[in-house]
Amino acid sequence: MEGVQLLLGPLNVGGVLTLASFQDDYRYGKGAGTRTNSLAVGLQQLGAFVACFLAWPLTDKLGRKKALMLSAAVFVIGAIIQTINTHSLVAFYIARVVAGLGLGAATVVVPMFNSEMMPKEMRGQVGSFFQWFYTFGIFVSYFVDYGVAKGISTSHSSQWQIPIGLQIVPAAFLGLGMLTLPESTRWLTKKGRHDEAWESLKWIRADNSQATIDEMEEIRVGVEIETRATEGFHFKELLQRDNFKRVLAAFAVFTAQQATGATAFAYFGPQYFKLIVGSGDRSLLVTAIFGAVKVVACGTFVLGFSERLSRRQVLIGGAIFMSACQVTTAAVVKSFPAPAEQQATVSPPAIATIALIYLFVIAYNFSWGPMPWPYVSEIFPARIREPGVAIGVASQWLWNFVFSLTTPYMIASLGWGTFLVWGIFDLVIAIFTFFLLKETRGLSLEHIAHSKFRANSSSAESVKQGGSD
């Protein structure tokens, strides 16, 4: 399910917008290209941001299953309108917002459903797949864009309709696939529907042994404790000193994730690589390889290193390395600008620059790509966990929208300076992490919840402090 949900959203519309067939059908010239790039990508992120706040009460009222089916249906409606050749950019923009509403709601509900249905032994690993499948979805979209650019004439609308329309397939698969799954055991228990909850757990575990009976009892006790812990909650509690520091940290972590520049590369890879290899479809091929590097790097980290490395040190080291890559890239692109027209071969400086960007994205997928998701879910006590995580996820979509909207203008006006801006941001992120973030690896959720939220050098140090905080 994780992969299905994440394949429905990250269509690389930035690549579609470079296709001549799309520009011809929607009748905008080169002068309007920057604005079209900005709005077409950014408006979907805006819809997703709004949906974060709608999804929380919706999933509590309807349940995880119905909320996911509704999210998928809304996304499909938006994708269908995008695929129809309306010749109207306004209609396309509205469809992007509609699709964003479905996407944003799904990104809230899918992790919730997975965490509530997975055995505790698998919960962490399944949760870590979130970023990996996101990168896989983008990787697929890159090669689809490259394939239609090479294989379909620019005179055919199908050149852009195929990659846009393919969004419908995994979204429909998610919505219809939910018909085969039971409702969340934990949600049913919370609503007092204990017989249905037991049937749900039996189905998902394919077992009704004493171990499953014990797990059901553990879920009931856990839901009761959580209900008592959150009873009488008021949002003003989020402003209390230690709670506010945690909420601010969640907001800042996802802000930093977007400010690394990696999301901008994901959405506008072809536009970035044109600064290096020039015009032509070569930028799409280089972007497709970029997507493959992302998938391999993120998968290697999730499967082999996610629970072996210090969260805080990984975030600091990753930001420093990314800063070095971006600043060096800016220097090379400034000294050796791309040719106006595509050349027969790629120059050595361009090859070096591409390698630097690939190293940058490897560092991102070993740090700020996957790590914010488990980190933010760990730092809140049960009483404020749901609103705290919701604020963090909303921050992710808010800054996704901001940088999606502004990146085309940065590329058009700053050129090589865009890389320098991201490099400076990455350096600031490293400093912020060093001074403000607390280590959480190796600590129980109870220890994290009952200790003061302050930066420290290692998880071992936190363990030594114990309850003295």
Give per-residue pLDDT as tens, 102-122: 988 888 788 778 777 877 666
Question: What DSSP assignment string belongs to 349-372?
Answer: HHHHHHHHHHHHHHHHHTTTTTTH
Is 261 found in the same domain as 164? no
Contacts of 121 (CB under 8 A, 6+ apart): none
Write out the H or E segment, with its range, that includes residue 162.
helix 158-165
Structural domain of 107? 1-181
Local structure of residue 259 (DSSP, 8 states) = H
Indicate whether 43 and 131 sit together in one domain.
yes
| pLDDT for 468 | 38
76 close to 102: Cβ distance less than 8 angstroms: yes
First vs last C-alpha separation in the chain: 40
Q: Are residues 242 and 176 in the same domain?
A: no
18 lies in the same domain as 153: yes
Both 163 and 263 in one domain: the answer is no
Domain's final residue, options 157, 181, 205 = 181
Residue 61, classified by CB atoms within 10 Å of its CB into exposed (0-12), middle (13-18) or buried (19+), is: exposed
Residues in the chain where the model's pLDDT stays below 50:
1-10, 457-469
Residues 14 and 144 in one domain: yes
In a domain, 219, yes or no: no
**What angle do helix axes 194-205 and 210-230 make, rounded to 10 degrees?**
130
Number of domains in the chain: 2
Shared domain check, 102 and 23 = yes
Query: Residue 189 falls within a domain, yes or no?
Result: no
Q: How far apart are CA 66 and CA 36, in angstroms?
A: 34
Query: What CATH code is carried by the domain that includes residue 245?
Result: 1.20.1250.20
Asked if residue 191 belongs to a domain, the reply is: no
**What pLDDT, on a 0 to 100 scale, did the predictor assign at position 340?**
62
Supply the pTM of this predicted model: 0.75
In a domain, 214, yes or no: no
SS3 202: helix
Flag whether 224 is in a domain.
no
Claim to verify: residue 134 and residue 257 sit in the same structural domain: no
On whether both 146 and 294 belong to a single domain, the answer is: no
Same domain, 156 and 269: no
**Contact criterion met (CB below 8 Å) for 203 and 37:** no
Separation between Cα atoms, residue 89 and residue 29, nearest integer Å: 13
Give dist(CA 44, CA 36) in Å, integer: 13
pLDDT score, position 400: 84
Same domain? For 176 and 266 the reply is no
Indicate if 286 and 162 belong to the same structural domain: no
Q: CA-CA distances (angstroms) from residue 318 to 156, 259, 368, 434?
A: 43, 13, 7, 12
